[in-house]
Chain A
Amino acid sequence: MAILRYSFYRFGTMLLTLLVVSVLVFVIINLPPGDYLSNQINELKASGQSAGVAKAEFLRKEYALDRALWEQYMIWMGFMPGPHGFSGMIQGNFGWSFEFDRPVAEIVGDSLWLTVLVNMAAVVFVYATALPLGVIAAAKARTWADYTSAFVGYLGLATPNFLLALILYYYGRKYLDIPIGGLMDPAFEGQPMSWAKIQSVLVHLIVPTIVIGTAGASAMMQRLRANMLDELGKPYVETAIAKGMSPSRMLAKYPLRVAFNPFVADIGNLLPSMVSGSVLVSVVMGLQTIGPTLLTALKTQDMFLSGFVLMFVALLTLIGTMISDILLVMLDPRIRYEGRDA
C-alpha cells in the first residue's frame, strides 16, 4: 500500500505545483502592456467607431478585465465569483478568445488530444530507439557501432529540430512518398473516427515523431550507455562471463536491469524539453496541435487562450513526470519515499 500512499502524495504535490504554475502563467500573459480589449478600444477610438467601443467596454466588464490584477487571477482560476458567479478554470470554463470570438474550449477542442497523441508517440519513439542503441553502444564500446551511434546522437542533439523537420519532409516526400504537413489528410478533418482516418493519422505521425524525439533519444542513449558501461565494469559481470553465460543473456539479465532505472527516471527531465520541442515543431510542420494556437494567441495578446494553452502544456509535463516518478518506485524496490523508519 506504500505505493498507493506515495501516489496520493505525489498527486498532491502535483496539484500544488500546478497552482504555482498558474500564478506564473497569469503573470506572464499579463506582462505585455494593456490587454486585447483595451488595445482594441484604443484602435476603435482612433478610427472613431463608437459602436465597437461600447461592445468592447461591455466585454471588459463581462470578463472582469477592469478589476485589480489579483482579482482577475482569482476569477480566472475560479476561486472567486466573477460577473457570472464561480466560473473559472476549475469549474471547467476556460474563458473566451477575443481574437476568434469563440470560447477557448471550442477552439482548442480536438487539438488537445492530438497534442497528447504526438507527445506520447514521441516518448515511445525515444524509448524504442534509445534502449537498443544505448545497449549496443555500451556492449560494443569503442567499435564502429559505438562511434556511429555516438556520431548520430551528437548530430541529433545539435540540429535545430525545425530544420530536421523540413529536411525529413523534403526527403520523405521525394523517396518514400510521406505526406507533408498536418496530422491527417484534410478530407478527414472534423470527421468521426474511422479506420481510414486512423491510418491517415499514423502515416502523418511518422515525421513529427522522429523530429520531436531525436534530441531526447540521443541524450537518453548517451546516458544509458554511460550507466551500462559503469555496470559492465563490475565484478558480477565477470563472474557471469566466467561461468559461461552467453553475452546477450548476461546483458539482459544483470547490467541492463540496474541501468534501467535511471532510464525510466529520465523521462521526467526529458518531457519538458520534448513538449516544448513539439510546440515549435507543430508551428513549422502545421500540425493541428496547440502549438500554432499558442503562437497566434501570444502574438495577438489573446490572454485567456494563451493562458489556457500554457496551463495545458504545463499540466501535460507535470502528469508525465508524476507517472515516471511512480513507475520508478514500482520498479526499484530500493527506493522508498515514506521516510527511514517506516
Chain B
Amino acid sequence: MTHLPDGRFVDDAPYDPQQSILELERRDLDAPNWLLVWRKFRTHKLGLVSGVFLLLSYLLLPFMGFIAPYSPNYRNADHLYAPPQSVRWVHEGEFIGPFIYPITAEADLETFQWKFVPDESDPRPIPFLCKGDSYKLFGLIESDTHLFCAPEGATLFLWGSDRLGRDVFSRILYGAQLSLTVGLIGISVSFFLGILFGSIAGYLGGKTDWLINRVIEILRSLPELPLWLALSAAVPSNWSPVAVFFIISVILGILDWPGLARSVRAKFLSLREEEYVRAAEMMGASSGRVIRRHLLPNFMSHLIASATLSIPAMILGETALSFLGLGLRAPAVSWGVMLNDAQNLASIELYPWTAIPMLPIVVVVLAFNFLGDGLRDSLDPYS
C-alpha cells in the first residue's frame, strides 16, 4: 500500500488485466453461511460486546467458588448489614497495594442501629491465592484456594453483608450459577417443545395444525405469571433445592414454547412447498427425516436468535418467583432469592446494598437483548 502525495492509497501489487474481477466476489459468494453471518455480526458492536460478556459469564460459572472470597451461606454474626467496604491503594500517602481498613460494629444508642466504623490506622492488605472456606470446582474437585480472601482477623465485604451477615458479593457470584442456568434449561425445554409442535403443525397441516394452533392461541392469551405461580405452588415443599430448581426451570419453559412454535410453523408452511422437499419426499424420505435434515437447518439460526431474545423473560421470571417465595428456596442462592431481602422500603432506605443483585439482573437481561438483536440483524447475510 503506497500513500500518494495527493492523499490516495494505491496497492503495490502489479495490475494484471487478465485476472477476472469476479474471482474475489466469487470467494465471498461461496463462503459458508456462518462466515457471512459472523462478518455481519462483527459490525454490530453492542451485540458483539454483549456476546463476549455473556460467554465470559457462562465460562466463569464453574469457577465462582474460586473467585468468591466467602462461601454463600457463611455467616459472620458480628457484621449484620455491614455496608460495602472500599478497597484502597494508598495509606497515608504511601502506596501499599490493595488493602482495606477493618471495620468494627458499634451500637448507636440514639438510633438503635449498628454503626460500622473503619479503623483508619490499620491497613490490612488483601491476600491473593489464599486458603479459605472449601468449595467444589466444577462441582467435583474439592478445593479451598480462593482468588482473594479477607485479611486475617478482618472482613472483606466488597458489596456489604446482608441480614444474616453473609457476603453479598460472594452470594451474587454463587447466585449467578442458578440464575443464569435457569434461562438455559428453560429455553431448552421451550425449544424442544416449540420445534416439535411447530414442525408437526406446519408440516402435517390439516386437523393437527388446527388443534395445535388453538392450543398455541390459548396459551399465548393467558397471563404467564399467575400460571407460573400456580404451578410452582404445586411443587412439594419437601423437595431438595436442586429438584425445585429443575422443576422451576421446566415450568418456565413449558409456558414459553407457543411463541417459538408459531414462528416454526410459519416457516414450515412456506418451506414445505419448495422443490427440494418434494424431491426428498419422492425419494422416500420419512416425514421425520425431511423435517430434521432438510427443513430445520434452514432456519435454525433464526430460531436461535429468537431463543436468545426469550431467555431474559425466563431470568426475570425466576427472579419474580423467588422474590415472592414461590421459586427457589432458602439454602439455594439465586438473585431472586437475594432480592427477597430487599422486599421492603425500609431495607432499601437503610441498607441499599441489599438491592445490588438487581444490577447483574439488569446487565444480563440487557446483554441478552442486545445479543439477540445483533443476531437477528445479521442472520440474513444476503439481504
Contact = CB atoms under 8 A, between A and B. Distances in A.
B248 interface: no
Contacts of B312: 157-158
Given A272-B222, A272-B223, A273-B224, A157 B365 contact: yes
B345 interface: yes
A184 interface: no
B242 interface: no
B226 A29 contact: no
A157 B313 CA distance: 9
- Chain B interface residue bracket vs A: 35 or more
Contacts of A167: 348
Contact of B366 (A32, A154, A294, A306): A154
Interface stretch (B71-79, B88-96, B130-138, B316-324): B316-324
Interface in A251-272: 268-269, 272
A198 interface: no
B14 interface: no
A280 B320 contact: yes
B286 interface: no
B218 A294 contact: no
A294 B345 contact: no
Chain A contact residues, majority secondary structure: helix
- Chain A interface residue bracket vs B: 35 or more
Contacts of B344: 166
B243 interface: no
A94 interface: no
Nearest to A158: B365
B271 interface: no
A155 B236 CA distance: 36
B221 interface: yes
B223 A314 contact: yes
Contacts of B289: none
B233 A273 contact: no
Contacts of B316: 160
A279 interface: yes
B300 interface: no
A262 to B, nearest CB: 16
B292 interface: no
Interface in A134-159: 154-155, 157-159
A313 B349 contact: no
B225 A17 contact: no
Contacts of B365: 157-158
B287 interface: no
B56 interface: no
A317 B222 contact: yes
Nearest to A174: B349
B171 to A, nearest CB: 17
A301 B229 CA distance: 12
A162 interface: yes
B378 to A, nearest CB: 16
A186 interface: no
B366 A158 contact: yes
A277 interface: yes
A169 interface: yes
B252 to A, nearest CB: 13
A301 to B, nearest CB: 8
Given A154-B369, A166-B342, A170-B345, A276 B225 contact: yes
Interface in B91-148: none
Given A160-B320, A163-B339, A166-B342, A280 B231 contact: no
A31 B234 contact: yes
A245 B349 CA distance: 54
B358 interface: yes
B226 A31 contact: no
B311 to A, nearest CB: 12
A225 to B, nearest CB: 13
A299 interface: yes
Nearest to B224: A276
Interface string A285-326: 000000000110011010000100110011001100100000
B230 A158 contact: no
A28 interface: yes
A33 B345 CA distance: 36
Interface string B223-255: 111110111011010000000000000000000
B220 interface: yes
A32 B247 CA distance: 14
A169 B345 contact: yes
Given A158-B366, A169-B345, A170-B349, A295 B234 contact: no
Contact of A276 (B223, B324, B342): B223
B244 to A, nearest CB: 14
Contacts of A280: 225, 320, 324
B217 interface: yes
Nearest to A14: B221
Contacts of A276: 223-226
Contacts of A301: 233
A153 to B, nearest CB: 10
B204 interface: no
A161 B225 CA distance: 13
Contacts of B366: 154-155, 158
A180 B320 contact: no
B355 interface: yes
13 contacts: A17-B221, A28-B234, A158-B366, A158-B369, A159-B362, A163-B342, A163-B355, A180-B345, A268-B221, A272-B222, A272-B223, A276-B223, A284-B343
Given A167-B348, A321-B221, 19 more contacts: A21-B218, A33-B236, A157-B312, A158-B362, A166-B344, A272-B224, A277-B225, A279-B229, A280-B225, A280-B320, A280-B324, A283-B324, A294-B226, A294-B229, A298-B229, A298-B233, A310-B230, A314-B223, A318-B221
The 6 A-B pairs of least Cβ separation, nearest first, read: A276-B225, A276-B223, A31-B234, A158-B365, A298-B233, A275-B223
